[in-house]
A and B are shown apart, each in its own frame.
Chain A
Amino acid sequence: MAVIEVPAARPLRWYSPQRIATAYWIVGAALVLLPVVASSFVLTQIFAWAMILGTIALSLMFLAGYGNMVSLVQMTVAGVAAYMVAIFGSSAVDTISLGWPWWVAVPLAILVAVAFGTLSGALAVRTEGIYTIMITLAIAAAMFYLVRQNYTLFNGFSGLNQVRAPRFWGIDWRSPVPFYYLSLAVAAVSYFAVVYVSRSPFGLALQGVRDNPRRMAALGFNVTWHRIAAYAFASLVAAVAGVLLVWLNGQVSPGTIAVGPAIDILIIAVVGGISHPIGPFLGALLYVLLRTFALDILVSLGLAGERFQLLIGLGFLVVVFFSSDGLLGLWRRYRERARRDPLTGEVADG
C-alpha cells in the first residue's frame, strides 16, 4: 500500500501525443527530414533499400519472434510479388508482361504472393524447429530453380527487367525522394501494424502457441490454423516489400530469390534482434551499410575488395557473439548498465 496517494493520471487514448515515446518523435522527424540533407544515392541505395529489406525481415521477425517459426521462405514470398508485378505490369520482355495498369497489377501480385506464402506455411506448420527451417529452405530453393529454368513465364536466367515504379497523383514514384517516402511509409505502416497486432487476440494467441502449443489446444484454440494465419499475415508484409524491391532494382531475376538472399533475411533479423519489431530494421541498416561500404573499407586497407562478404560475416559473428538477441540485446544491456546504481548495483526503476 502506498502511503502517499498518487492522483490517477488521465486515461490516455491511442491518439494522445503523450503516449508516443520521445524516441519515436526523434527517429520519425529524422527520417522525414532526411531528404533535405541526403543525396539521392543515400536515399535510395541506403535507406530505401534498408527499409525494404527491413520490412521483409520484419515478416520473419513476426513469425520467429511471436510464433517461434523460423521461415526461410520470406524472401521468396517477396520475390513472387516482385515477379508478379513484372508479369502483370510491364517490363522490357513484352512477350511475357501483360502490361496491365499498376492498380491492377500490384494488388494481384500481392494476392498471389500471399497465397504462395500461406501455402508454404501450411506445408511447414506441422513441423517444429530445425525441420521448419529445412522445409521452408526447400521451398525457397525449389522456387529459385523453377524461375531459373522456366522461360515461358519467368524468362529464366535473365529474369524481367525495366520494371518501373508507376507515375500517379502527378508524382513520379521512381525518382529518389518520392520513392524514399514510399518506402518509409510502407516500412512505418508495417512496423506499427506488427506492433498493434502483437497485442491483439490473434497476436497474443500466436505468442501462446509459441510458449505452449499443447496448452493452447487445451484452451480451445486450433493451433494449426493459427500458425497458418500467421504465415498469411507475414506474407502480406513481405509481399508489399517485394513490390517495392522490384521498383527499386528496376528488375527481378532468379538471383533475387536465390538461397543466398533468403539466408541474408534471416541474418538481418537475427543480427537486429527478433524480440521487437524494430530489430529487423536495425539489422537491415547495418547489413546495407556493410554491403555498400565493406568493399571501399577493404580496398583502403590494401586488401582485395572482393572479400567484402568476409567483413559482413565477421560483423554478424561479432554481434551474435556478444548478444543473444542481436543489436536489440546489446542496447538493452547498455541501458541496464546505465540504470544500475554504481554503489549498490541495484537497477533503478524507469
Chain B
Amino acid sequence: MAETVAARLSAAGTAAALELRGVSRYFGALAALVDISMTVRPGERRAVLGSNGAGKTTLFNCITGDFAPTSGAIRLFGEDVTAFPPYERIRRGLRRTYQISLLFNGLSVIDNVYLACRGVSRGRFSLIRPRRGDALAQSAEDLVAAVHLHEVRDQLVANLAYGQQRQLEIALALAGAPRFILFDEPAAGLSPTERAELIEILTGLPEHIGYMIIEHDMDVALRVATRVTMMHNGRIFKEGAPHEIEEDPEVQALYLGGGGDGGR
C-alpha cells in the first residue's frame, strides 16, 4: 500500500463503504459467485435476497476474508482489502454475524462480548485483568444490556436458549465502532416477538452505520433495507429500491411466487 495516511483518510470520508469489482469465487468447477460488482454507499442498508445456493453467504465470506475470491477486488471505505486477513478488515470497521451462531461456548455472555470489544481495540495481548469501571468492560456491559441479555450475563453461552444466542451473535457484531456490518440471516429461527426486537435493533442503529443483510423473510428484509439486491445462481439478478423489487414481475416469478422458503 503506497497510499499515505492522509489519502486514506480522505478516501474513507468520500468513498463507498463497500465496493466489489468483478468478484468471482469457484469451488473446483462450481461457480459460487460469478463477476459480482456492487457499490454500497456509507450508511446504506442493503438486503441481499436469493434462494438457497444463490451465493449470498459465499459473498459474505469473500467480503470478510474468511476465504479469498478467485478473482476480482474488494474495497472497504476506499481501501483495497482483497489480500487482507479477516482481522485486518474487522479492525477497519467491518463486522459480521453468522447464519449458524459462532460463539464461545466455554465462556460467559459478558466474556463473549468483552472479547468482541477487546478485539477491535488495543491490548489484545494484555496480561493485566481489567479493573472495575474499565471503559472497555463498561462498553461490554452496555452492549449486553442493549440486546436484553443482562439477566443471563454470567451464564455460559452453551446454556443459553437459541434466541438468546442469536441476540448475542448480534451483540458481538456491534462491539467497538462498527462502520459496516454483514448480517447473515439474523432472524432465522426467531419467534415473532424476537423478530420485532431484531427489527427494532436494526432500524435503531445510528445512521452512519451501514449494513448488508441476508434474509429469507421478505417482511423483515423489506422493512430494514433501503436497497435490495436479488441474487440467483451466483450472479446479481436485480438491484433496486424495496418496492421496485417487490413489484418486479421477474422477481415474483423467480422468488416470491415459486420460492418454498420465502417469507409469507
Contact = CB atoms under 8 A, between A and B. Distances in A.
B87 A217 contact: yes
B233 to A, nearest CB: 27
B211 interface: no
Interface string B36-72: 0000000000000000000000000000101000000
Given A201-B125, A207-B106, A226-B125, A217 B130 contact: no
Contacts of B85: 217, 222
Interface stretch (A40-48, A100-108, A192-200): A192-200
Contacts of B81: none
A204 interface: yes
Contacts of A222: 85, 87, 124
A201 B130 contact: yes
Nearest to B169: A215
Interface string B77-119: 0000000011100110000101000111111000110111011
Contacts of B120: 219-220
B96 A218 contact: yes
B127 A214 contact: no
A211 interface: yes
A186 interface: no
Nearest to A275: B106
B193 interface: no
B126 interface: yes
A215 B106 contact: no
Contacts of B90: 217-220
B130 A218 contact: no
Interface string A251-278: 0000000000000000000000000000
A212 interface: yes
B119 A204 contact: no
Interface residues of B, number: 35
Point out which of A201, A205, A215, A223 has the most chain B C-beta atoms below 10 A from its C-beta.
A201
B175 interface: yes
Contacts of A205: 115, 118-119, 124-125
A148 interface: no
A44 B128 CA distance: 34
B86 A211 contact: no
Say whether chain A's binding surface is mostly helix, strand, loop, or mixed.
Answer: helix
Nearest to B158: A211
B264 interface: no
Given A204-B115, A219-B116, A229 B125 contact: yes
Given A208-B104, A212-B102, A220-B91, A196 B129 contact: yes
A215 B105 CA distance: 12
B107 A208 contact: yes
A214 B102 contact: yes
Say whether chain B's binding surface is mostly helix, strand, loop, or mixed.
Answer: loop
Nearest to A222: B87
B102 A207 contact: no
Give the bracket for the number of chain A residues in contact with chain B: 20 to 34
Given A211-B106, A218-B90, A201 B66 contact: no
A19 B176 CA distance: 33
B204 interface: no
B28 interface: no
B172 interface: yes
A131 interface: no
A173 interface: no
B206 interface: no
Given A219-B90, A220-B91, A207 B107 contact: yes
A200 B87 contact: no
A210 B114 CA distance: 16
A216 B115 CA distance: 8
B129 A199 contact: yes
A202 B129 CA distance: 9
A221 interface: yes
5 tightest A-B CB contacts, nearest first: A220-B119, A219-B119, A211-B104, A215-B102, A220-B90
Interface of A: 11, 196-197, 199-205, 207-208, 210-212, 214-223, 225-226, 229
14 contacts: A200-B129, A201-B124, A204-B107, A204-B115, A208-B107, A211-B103, A211-B104, A215-B98, A215-B172, A217-B90, A218-B98, A220-B91, A221-B119, A226-B124
